[in-house]
């Protein structure tokens, strides 16, 4: 009997005090497509980096094709035919496709780099695998889907027989996903082994032969795709029985939304959660809108229509949720409203005020609060204390005579907010850097929601925070609605959107693909919009 | 005759720019800021004077100059690559070190605060700044070849491909098994050797070392690298332009048309203008100045 | 390598469980260690290299160092000279630090300082001779700061408007501005046969020796107190004022500052203008306090040495004042030891200190964090 292509046994790995893998086992047979699934932070990528020699395990053994290779280097892994396609592209934009592919093992002619040979070899590889890319174009000029093909070509050029792909579909459009599946099946049929890291259950069902489920650093289950169901996989991922509908829905939502093929059972669960959510506040439709977006269009260097003629009226006392696969214009939408990117076209009104051309500060003063999607990058100054972070953006209000900051007032304000929002530790002088993710997010929320505002932009408000903090944040958003504030919730977590929103929109490819009342929306109905299968504008063709 | 004299003088002035700028291009394309060209050049000039004085041979001086400058480059490389010291601060420190060390050893070796004794140069037997003197200097020829050779190195050799990759996206290169540190060490040492050669040219051309004799030429070479947007042949054109302006100023000195200080400013002003994107945007290598 | 060793997610300390209050006291102590250790390591390394150079010159290190100390802190004249040099270095150190706090490298203190001295010297010539000192001196102080600020503002504006790299612009601008000042001085202003302007008739401030005769002969003067007051003001402004809050925010995390409604571009311009103004202020030390005229190259090298001062002083005004005293001691000490070893030895040592601090900051940080990690892991 041939040994398994990959055999990881009892792998332990810690980063500082944080355990990433605990006693993890993984067996992958040669010639199969194996899905490695689990929630964000379950330890999937770390386990595969250990396999690829990028990271060394603290304990445990790594065997490839029956050979013990524990602790090998990335170069040794590549030489032995193990290649990993990372989640973030590792490409050199100004170099050509062929140069990127051959870098590190360039074909030579004497002392020289044989560019024509490189182009020819890479073109032949494209032909053979079906990964079509223009080999002499610079990578900078490629689409995201093409760039990913270059990543796979790099690995195959090095003769990989075992291919690890880390969340490869996060950036792909549905037709590109289908093409990728075709390529992966072709590799498998030629005897290659593929490990696919993902948290999208429809992908797992569509492409894999076997499944290993990870939870909190451990491998908790091993399933045959043909004999399992998405619900069973979900149960293994969350680690509890599906008796508690809310938990499952939460877990599934945390997996980053779905792009189509939703299982009816899952949709039913999330609907059940959302159903209990309807509030009885006064009908917002009768009030003048708090935020008016008209034809808002944003151009980025990569995409002249990253956000394309987006229009929306947001009324006091309602939450409008924007769902969609990430990278479809959500970031641009939020930053446009916040004043962080200039509009290419269109207008933004906060109540009566036209803020289309106004700076961030004026928008804040006009009643806008903003929970940004990346709190560590945008939302906080990590080396500033909790107290100083709590006044960021409002610091002018804490300025006394001669431009001096009023330390006493800043501290009093911080103590108030810390108590009200239960930020821990309750010491206003501690740098934000030393707090947990949940408590960092509480600083942002305390700052943005602790002041008087009319419109709240909440972008991925619960990303990367623990369950307790998620509950807290959701309660805060509901309280804001009940107090008559207008909330625009942008989240990749469809369940969160369905649980909180009164109206639900879907962003796809920079456009508002649909906008439905919550009563008319469900995961089943929204799925096709999120994947671009429904809601295409006829005039766009 | 006037045109020939003008051309010869331009080339003689451009020679150290060509050679040092070639080093600057290689270093910056690998992601290491070339602020120390001036210091490497000064070190090279001093060591060349030292070597040729004691050996009586310009060729031994050349070897000593290149070796000394590479030592200075190694210092910068170890600080920035091994210890991840800030490249800008380290680059300035190496320049200050070169000024201080050359003065210290000038006292130690020649007991002078200003200059070394006369040392042999290249092409002494044919003499001076004329056509023969110019064409008989191997360093002039090296200068003419330096930037085309750099273009070939960067675009046509495996090392060049790696240099370009490392300067743009070191992590990507690393995942493919390219040893980023080794490529950067090689690039910085090569830039030290080339800038050192530029210093050798100055010392052998003037037949002595004088305190601070590089007089900002390393920075003019850096200006040419930026003004030429990191592309070797464009950088060569920038060097020629700067040298031609200097020559013109020298030749027209008697006429007092333009104060010499204004001509001195030209390379620096043009570089500032280029950086501001007023005439074509300068986009440096993406990983320039970053410790991976 | 480190780029590859990155874990699943970046393990920010925020992923760690919350720490107790005693841990936060420990964290404060750790930050202090990380701040103070690198300069100490660097100075020790410089001393070792100094020993080697002294021995290479055929001298014994002990007497040389003793002479160095005797010639600086050992007598009033030497001490006065140290104070004089430290005054200028404090200004250029602040000029680097304030830009660094905004996330910018100001390599232009050299020309900002010169422009400050120049403008003070030129405006001083225009003031009527009878003007009382209490009016003339402040006018010239403002003039010096304005001269430096004008030069500093250029890279700030170019960075904010066009994204031009301030490192290269400030370096290139040094050459342009110095050439311009040299031209203006040589062709229009200089006393014939010299490189300096005529002496000021008013606005010159007393030397310290007029207050304390012991300082006789030394160049130390009352601008020392002006500069100390400026350092104190910078300290207050940076850490206690709204603008300082904004400036440090931009330096630490520009994206978060922008999110907080702070204009990053305007803050850059403000930082560079202020940095230039502080460097320019250094010009009064020479022009108002010492020679009473502007002279070409009057403080050459002080701008670059300011980088060293800020680096060793860890970009903090108090640290900068101390570091300025240290580097001024080396500079003056070089003259004192010149009989035994060439005074250029101190130029070498100063460069070694810069290089060593630059290398030691990340290295010490790494070593400390590693040993602490090992300690915590063992717990």
Q: Where are the alpha helices (DSSP H) in A242-288?
A: 245-254, 264-275
At residue C11, does pLDDT exceed 60? no
- Per the model's pLDDT, the better-predicted residue between C81 and A257 turns out to be C81
Query: Given an 8 Å threshold on Cβ–Cβ distance, is B165 in contact with A78?
Result: no
Name all chains with 3 or more CB-CB pairs below 8 Å to chain A: B, C
| A35 CA: distance to closest CA in chain B (Å) | 23
- pLDDT, residue B130, reads 67
Per DSSP, what are the bridge partners of residue A320?
Answer: A488, A503
At residue A251, does pLDDT exceed 70? no
Give percent of chain A above pLDDT 90: 57
- pLDDT, residue C304, reads 92
Confidence of residue A385 (pLDDT cuts 50, 70, 90): very high
Query: Given an 8 Å threshold on Cβ–Cβ distance, is A92 in contact with B165?
Result: yes
At residue C342, does pLDDT exceed 80? yes
Query: Given an 8 Å threshold on Cβ–Cβ distance, is B264 in contact with C362?
Result: no
CB A430, CB A406: distance < 8 Å: no
At residue A15, does pLDDT exceed 80? no
A213 SS3 class: strand
Confidence of residue B287 (pLDDT cuts 50, 70, 90): confident
At residue A283, does pLDDT exceed 80? no
For residues C306 and C86, give the distance between their C-alpha atoms in angstroms, rounded to a whole number. Answer: 10
Give percent of chain C above pLDDT 90: 63
The per-residue pLDDT for range C113-136, each reduced to its tens digit, is: 999 999 999 999 999 888 888 899
Q: Report the chain C residue with the minimal C-alpha distance to residue B221.
A: C172
E strands in A110-230: 112-113, 162-166, 193-198, 210-215, 218-224
Per DSSP, what are the bridge partners of residue A294?
Answer: A347
Residue B4 contacts C where some CB pair is shorter than 8 Å? no
Q: What are C369's two structure tokens?
A: 């964090």
- pLDDT, residue A247, reads 37
Least reliable range by pLDDT among A491-500, C26-35, C110-119: C26-35
Residue C242 contacts A where some CB pair is shorter than 8 Å? yes
Name all chains with 3 or more CB-CB pairs below 8 Å to chain C: A, B
- pLDDT, residue B129, reads 58
Q: Residue range C22-32: average pLDDT?
A: 71
CB A321, CB A498: distance < 8 Å: yes
A302 SS3 class: coil
- pLDDT, residue A265, reads 38
- Per the model's pLDDT, the better-predicted residue between C19 and A417 turns out to be A417
Distances (CA, A) of C217 to A194, C73, C75, C105, C212: 82, 15, 12, 37, 11
At residue B93, does pLDDT exceed 90? yes
Residue B180 contacts C where some CB pair is shorter than 8 Å? yes
At residue B17, does pLDDT exceed 70? yes
A115 SS3 class: helix
For residues A125 and A135, give the distance between their C-alpha atoms in angstroms, rounded to a whole number. Answer: 10
Q: What are A461's two structure tokens?
A: 């408000």
Distances (CA, A) of B231 to B75, B147, B195, B197, C227: 26, 9, 18, 21, 46
Confidence of residue A304 (pLDDT cuts 50, 70, 90): confident
| B101 CA: distance to closest CA in chain C (Å) | 6
- Per the model's pLDDT, the better-predicted residue between B59 and C362 turns out to be B59
The per-residue pLDDT for range A223-248, each reduced to its tens digit, is: 999 998 877 887 787 665 433 233 33
Query: Given an 8 Å threshold on Cβ–Cβ distance, is A382 in contact with C253?
Result: yes
Q: Which of A55, A78, A104 is the best residue to mutate to test the B interface, defined by the most B CB atoms within 10 Å of its own CB? A: A104
Give percent of chain C above pLDDT 70: 91
At residue C198, does pLDDT exceed 70? yes
Residues 6+ positions from C363 with CB-CB distance below 8 Å: B83, B84, C38
Helix (H) or strand (E) holding A338: helix A330-338
Contacts of A338 in chain C (CB under 8 A): 259
At residue A62, does pLDDT exceed 80? yes
For residues C219 and C198, give the distance between their C-alpha atoms in angstroms, rounded to a whole number. Answer: 19
Cis amide linkage into residue A425, ω under 30° from 0: yes
Contacts 24+ apart (CB under 8 A), A248-251: A249/A273, A249/A495, A249/A499, A250/A467, A250/A470, A250/A495, A251/A39
Q: Report the chain B residue with the minimal C-alpha distance to residue A108.
A: B158
| C355 CA: distance to closest CA in chain A (Å) | 26
The per-residue pLDDT for range C311-327, each reduced to its tens digit, is: 999 999 999 999 999 99
- pLDDT, residue A142, reads 86
CB A523, CB A258: distance < 8 Å: yes
What value does the mean pLDDT of chain B take? Answer: 90
CB A48, CB A166: distance < 8 Å: yes
Q: What are C300's two structure tokens?
A: 């050459």
Stated pTM of the model: 0.86
At residue A250, does pLDDT exceed 60? no
Four-residue CA torsion sign, A135, A140, A144, A147: positive
- pLDDT, residue C7, reads 33
For residues B227 and B225, give the distance between their C-alpha atoms in angstroms, rounded to a whole number. Answer: 6
Output the 3-class SS for C119-167: HHHHHHHHCCCCCCHHHHHHHHHHHHHHHHHHHHHHHHHHHHHHCCCHH
Q: Residue range C83-112: average pLDDT?
A: 97
Confidence of residue A305 (pLDDT cuts 50, 70, 90): confident
Find the distance separating the first CA and the last CA of chain A, reported in whole Å.
55
Query: Given an 8 Å threshold on Cβ–Cβ distance, is B33 in contact with C105?
Result: no
What value does the mean pLDDT of chain A take? Answer: 85
**Total CB pairs under 8 A between chain A and C:** 128
Would you state the torsion angle of the CA atoms of residues C13, C19, C21, C25, taken in this order, to the nearest 10 degrees? -40
Residue B182 contacts C where some CB pair is shorter than 8 Å? no
A514 SS3 class: strand
At residue C47, does pLDDT exceed 60? yes
Contacts of B157 in chain A (CB under 8 A): 111-113
At residue B278, does pLDDT exceed 70? no
- pLDDT, residue C24, reads 62
Residues 6+ positions from A299 with CB-CB distance below 8 Å: A305, A306, A344
A113 → closest Cβ in B158, B171, B175: B158
Confidence of residue A8 (pLDDT cuts 50, 70, 90): very high
Least reliable range by pLDDT among B43-52, C4-13, C293-302: C4-13
The per-residue pLDDT for range B53-72, each reduced to its tens digit, is: 999 899 999 999 999 999 99
Give percent of chain B above pLDDT 90: 67
Q: How many CB atoms sit inside 10 A of residue C374's CB?
A: 9
| A463 CA: distance to closest CA in chain C (Å) | 13
Q: Report the chain B residue with the minimal C-alpha distance to residue A104.
A: B178
- pLDDT, residue C26, reads 72
Q: What are C55's two structure tokens?
A: 């021995």
| A119 CA: distance to closest CA in chain C (Å) | 28
For residues A512 and A518, give the distance between their C-alpha atoms in angstroms, rounded to a whole number. Answer: 16
DSSP string, chain B: -HHHHHHHHHHHHHHHHHHHHHHHHHHHHTT---TTHHHHHHHHHHHHHHHHHHHS-HHHHHHHHHHHHHHHHHHHHIIIIIS---HHHHHHHHHHHHHHHHHHHHHHHH--SSBPPP---TTTTT-SSSHHHHHT-HHHHHHHHHHHHHHHHHHHSHHHHHHHHHHH-HHHHHHTT--HHHHHHHHHHHHHHHHHHHHHHHHHHHTS-BTTTTTTHHHHHHHHHHHTTT-HHHHHHHHHHHHHHHHHHHHTGGGT-S-HHHHHHHHHHHHHHHHTTTTS-----TTTT---
Q: Report the chain C residue with the minimal C-alpha distance to residue A18.
A: C16
- pLDDT, residue A531, reads 65
Residue C322 contacts B where some CB pair is shorter than 8 Å? no
Q: Where are the alpha helices (DSSP H) in chain C?
A: 2-5, 21-56, 61-70, 76-101, 109-126, 133-162, 166-184, 208-211, 223-240, 242-252, 254-259, 264-281, 283-287, 302-312, 317-337, 345-378
Residues 6+ positions from C379 with CB-CB distance below 8 Å: none
């Amino acid at each position: 009997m041939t040994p398994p292509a990959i055999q990881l046994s009892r792998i332990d790995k810690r980063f500082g005090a944080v355990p990433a893998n605990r006693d993890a086992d993984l067996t992958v047979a040669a010639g199969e497509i194996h899905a490695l699934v689990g929630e964000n932070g379950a330890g999937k990528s770390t386990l595969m980096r250990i396999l690829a020699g990028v990271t060394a395990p603290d304990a445990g053994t790594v065997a490839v094709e029956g050979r013990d290779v524990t602790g090998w280097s990335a170069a040794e892994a590549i030489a032995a035919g193990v290649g990993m396609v990372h989640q973030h592209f590792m490409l050199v934009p100004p170099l050509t496709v062929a140069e990127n592919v051959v870098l590190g093992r360039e074909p030579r002619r004497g002392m020289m780099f044989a560019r024509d040979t490189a182009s020819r070899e890479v073109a032949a590889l494209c032909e053979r695998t079906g990964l079509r890319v223009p080999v002499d174009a610079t990578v900078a000029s490629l689409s995201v889907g093409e760039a990913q093909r270059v990543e796979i070509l790099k690995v195959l050029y090095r003769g990989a027989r075992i291919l690890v792909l880390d969340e490869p579909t996060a950036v792909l459009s549905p037709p590109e996903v289908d093409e990728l599946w075709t390529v992966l099946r072709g590799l498998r049929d030629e005897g290659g082994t593929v490990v696919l890291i993902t948290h999208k259950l429809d992908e797992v069902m569509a492409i894999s032969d076997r499944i290993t489920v990870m939870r909190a650093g451990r491998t908790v289950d091993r399933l045959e795709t043909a004999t399992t169901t998405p619900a069973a996989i979900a149960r293994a991922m969350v680690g509890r029985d599906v008796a508690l509908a809310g938990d499952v829905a939460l877990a599934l939502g945390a997996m980053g939304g779905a792009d189509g093929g939703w299982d009816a059972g899952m949709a039913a669960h999330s609907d059940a959660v959302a159903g209990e959510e309807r509030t009885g506040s006064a009908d917002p439709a009768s009030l003048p809108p708090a935020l008016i977006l008209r034809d808002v269009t944003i151009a980025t260097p990569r995409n002249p229509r990253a956000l394309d003629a987006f229009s929306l009226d947001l009324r006091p006392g309602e939450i409008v949720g924007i769902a969609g696969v990430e990278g479809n214009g959500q970031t641009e939408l939020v930053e446009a409203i916040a004043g962080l990117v200039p509009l290419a076209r269109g207008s933004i009104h906060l109540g009566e005020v036209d803020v289309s051309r106004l700076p961030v500060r004026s928008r804040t003063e006009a009643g806008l609060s903003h929970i940004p999607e990346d709190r560590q990058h945008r939302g906080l100054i990590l080396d500033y204390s909790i107290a100083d972070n709590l006044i960021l953006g409002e610091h002018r209000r804490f300025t006394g005579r001669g431009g001096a900051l009023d330390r006493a007032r800043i501290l009093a304000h911080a103590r108030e907010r810390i108590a009200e929002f239960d930020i821990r530790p309750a010491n206003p002088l501690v740098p934000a850097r030393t707090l947990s993710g949940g408590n960092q997010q509480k600083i942002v929320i305390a700052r943005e929601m602790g002041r008087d505002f009319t419109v709240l932009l909440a972008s991925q408000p619960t990303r990367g925070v623990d369950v307790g903090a998620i509950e807290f944040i959701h309660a805060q958003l509901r309280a804001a609605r009940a107090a008559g504030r207008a909330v625009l919730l942008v989240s990749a977590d469809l369940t969160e959107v369905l649980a909180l929103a009164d109206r639900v929109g879907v962003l796809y490819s920079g456009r508002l693909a649909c906008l439905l009342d919550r009563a008319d929306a469900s995961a089943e109905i929204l799925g096709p919009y999120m994947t671009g299968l429904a809601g295409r504008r006829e005039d766009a063709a | 005759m006037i045109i020939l004299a003008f051309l010869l003088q331009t080339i003689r002035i451009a020679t150290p720019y060509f050679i040092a700028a070639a080093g600057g291009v290689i270093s910056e394309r690998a992601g290491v800021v070339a602020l120390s060209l001036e210091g490497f050049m000064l070190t090279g000039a001093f060591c060349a004077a030292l070597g040729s004085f004691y050996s009586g041979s310009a060729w031994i001086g050349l070897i000593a100059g290149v070796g000394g400058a590479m030592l200075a480059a190694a210092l910068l490389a170890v600080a920035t690559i091994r210890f991840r010291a800030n490249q800008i601060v380290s680059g300035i420190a190496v320049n200050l070190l070169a000024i201080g060390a050359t003065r210290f050893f000038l006292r130690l070796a020649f007991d002078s605060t200003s200059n070394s004794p006369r040392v042999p140069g290249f092409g002494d037997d044919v003499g001076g700044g004329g056509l023969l003197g110019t064409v008989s200097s191997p360093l002039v020829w090296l200068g003419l070849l330096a930037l085309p050779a750099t273009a070939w190195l960067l675009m046509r050799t495996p090392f060049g491909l790696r240099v370009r990759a490392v300067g743009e996206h070191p992590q990507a290169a690393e995942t493919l098994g390219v040893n980023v540190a080794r490529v950067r060490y090689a690039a910085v040492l090569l830039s030290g050797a080339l800038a050192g050669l530029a210093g050798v040219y100055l010392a052998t051309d003037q037949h002595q070392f004088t305190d601070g004799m590089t007089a900002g030429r390393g920075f003019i070479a850096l200006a040419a690298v930026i003004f030429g947007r990191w592309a070797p042949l464009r950088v060569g054109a920038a060097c020629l332009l700067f040298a031609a302006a200097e020559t013109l100023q020298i030749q027209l000195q008697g006429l007092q048309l333009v104060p010499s200080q204004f001509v001195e400013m030209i390379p620096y002003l043009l570089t500032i203008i280029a950086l501001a994107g007023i005439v074509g945007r300068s986009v440096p290598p993406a990983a320039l100045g970053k410790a991976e | 390598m480190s780029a590859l060793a990155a874990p699943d997610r970046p393990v920010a300390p925020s992923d760690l469980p919350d720490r107790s209050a005693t841990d936060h006291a420990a964290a404060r102590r750790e930050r202090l260690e990380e701040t103070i250790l690198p300069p100490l390591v660097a100075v020790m390394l410089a001393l070792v290299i100094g020993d080697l150079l002294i021995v290479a010159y055929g001298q014994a290190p002990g007497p040389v160092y003793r002479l160095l100390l005797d010639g600086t802190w050992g007598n009033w004249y030497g001490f006065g000279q140290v104070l004089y040099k430290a005054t200028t270095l404090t200004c250029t150190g602040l000029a680097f630090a304030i830009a660094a706090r905004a996330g910018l490298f100001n390599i232009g203190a050299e020309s900002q300082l010169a422009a400050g001295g120049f403008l003070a010297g030129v405006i001083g010539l225009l003031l009527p001779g009878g003007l009382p000192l209490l009016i003339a001196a402040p006018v010239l102080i403002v003039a010096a700061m304005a001269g430096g600020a004008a030069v500093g503002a250029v890279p700030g504006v170019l960075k904010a408007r066009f994204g031009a790299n301030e490192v290269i612009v400030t370096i290139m601008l040094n050459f342009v501005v110095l050439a311009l000042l040299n031209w203006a001085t040589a062709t229009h202003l200089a006393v014939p046969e010299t490189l300096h302007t005529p002496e000021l008739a008013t606005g010159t401030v007393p030397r310290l020796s007029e207050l304390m005769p012991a300082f006789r002969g030394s160049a130390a003067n009352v601008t020392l107190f002006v500069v100390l007051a400026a350092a104190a003001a910078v300290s207050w402004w940076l850490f206690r004022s709204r603008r300082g809050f904004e400036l440090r925010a931009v330096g630490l995390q520009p994206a978060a500052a922008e999110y907080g409604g702070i204009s990053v571009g305007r803050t850059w311009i403000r930082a560079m203008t202020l940095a230039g103004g502080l460097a320019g202020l250094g010009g009064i030390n020479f022009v108002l306090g010492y020679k009473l005229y502007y002279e070409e190259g009057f403080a050459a090298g002080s701008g670059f040495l300011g980088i060293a001062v800020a680096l060793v002083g860890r970009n903090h005004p108090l640290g900068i004042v101390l570091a300025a005293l240290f580097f001024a001691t080396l500079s003056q000490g070089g003259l004192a030891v010149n009989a035994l070893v060439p005074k250029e030895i101190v130029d070498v040592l100063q460069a070694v200190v810069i290089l060593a601090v630059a290398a030691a900051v990340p290295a010490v940080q790494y070593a400390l964090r590693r040993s602490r990690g090992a300690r915590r892991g063992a717990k």
